[in-house]
Amino acid sequence: MPRILMTGAAGGIGTSLRKLLPPIYPDLLLSDLKAPADLGKDEKFKAADLADLAQVEAICEGVDGILHFGGYSVEGPWDSILQSNIIGGYNLFEAARKKGVERIVFASSNHAVGFYPRHHRIGTDVTARPDSRYGVSKVFGEAVGALYADKHGLGVTCIRIGNFGEMPLDHRRLSIWLKPEDLVQLCRIGLDHPDIHFEIFYGASHNERAWWDNHRAYELGYRPTGRGEDFREHAMAEQAKLKPDPVGDYYQGGTFCSMEFDGDKDRIVDWSKR
């Protein structure tokens, strides 16, 4: 059985996957800055600060594959993003190389391409248009992943996660919702599929309103079971409670695009037409 390391075990995604992964990967090692409050007696945990290379090397010892969900998971101050996602992301790949890890699944984000307009369907090979410092850090992580795949032979899969949860919570999330069990599918492709070298997938379930072309994931066996439209009435009812957002409602990144936005709202740039 392979030993799999999952960083970010105390976060929202990590907490959910801790319940779904053990039947698939029994030898699962969890890590975060601090142990989850509800850590079970049968769960294996090692604390590590991603910004400290020595600590990251220690958790990578004897590991075959990594699910990297650790880091700063929302927009925040530059120094927080720098330490957790930029330095921490580099340290994760470098420690994996040193310790002979074979596969890494990197949790990227839709915010790496958030400044594409909602009416424009995009693939995984588009130019990055991050909508935040957080989005910039995910573009960086994808680039480091490509470097370590091409130069050092790691098998790397980057998943641009949409909205992870039990159901889509508003109009935007009908297009980008990701059911937890579908994320597990994508992780398994990244860890186990023999053809993985470097891939980017969109982390989305079967959403009829999708803005993303995710054909490569489907070619490698992805068969999502979640369907966003099953929750349309709930999502639209929640959307009705929200205030209009001229910037966020136009771009795929939503409020990540409109926060701190001080450009001319009458001249919102549609990069796809330039």
- pLDDT value at residue 271: 57
- pLDDT value at residue 274: 52
Q: Strand, coil or helix: what is 169? A: coil
The domain at 4-273 falls in which architecture? 3-Layer(aba) Sandwich (3.40)
What are the residue boundaries of the structural domains of the chain, listed by start? 4-273
Segment 210-232 mean pLDDT: 98
Contact 217, 125 (CB under 8 A): no
Known catalytic residue at 134: yes
Q: End-to-end distance of the chain based on CA atoms, in angstroms?
A: 50
Segment 153-176 mean pLDDT: 97
Q: Categorize the per-residue pLDDT at 270 as very low, low, confident or very high, splitting at 50, 70 and 90.
A: low
Segment 129-146 mean pLDDT: 98
Q: Which of 72, 90, 134, 251 is catalytic?
A: 134
For the residues of 65-89, what is the DSSP string, one character each? EEEE--S--S---HHHHIIIIIIHH
Contact 149, 98 (CB under 8 A): no
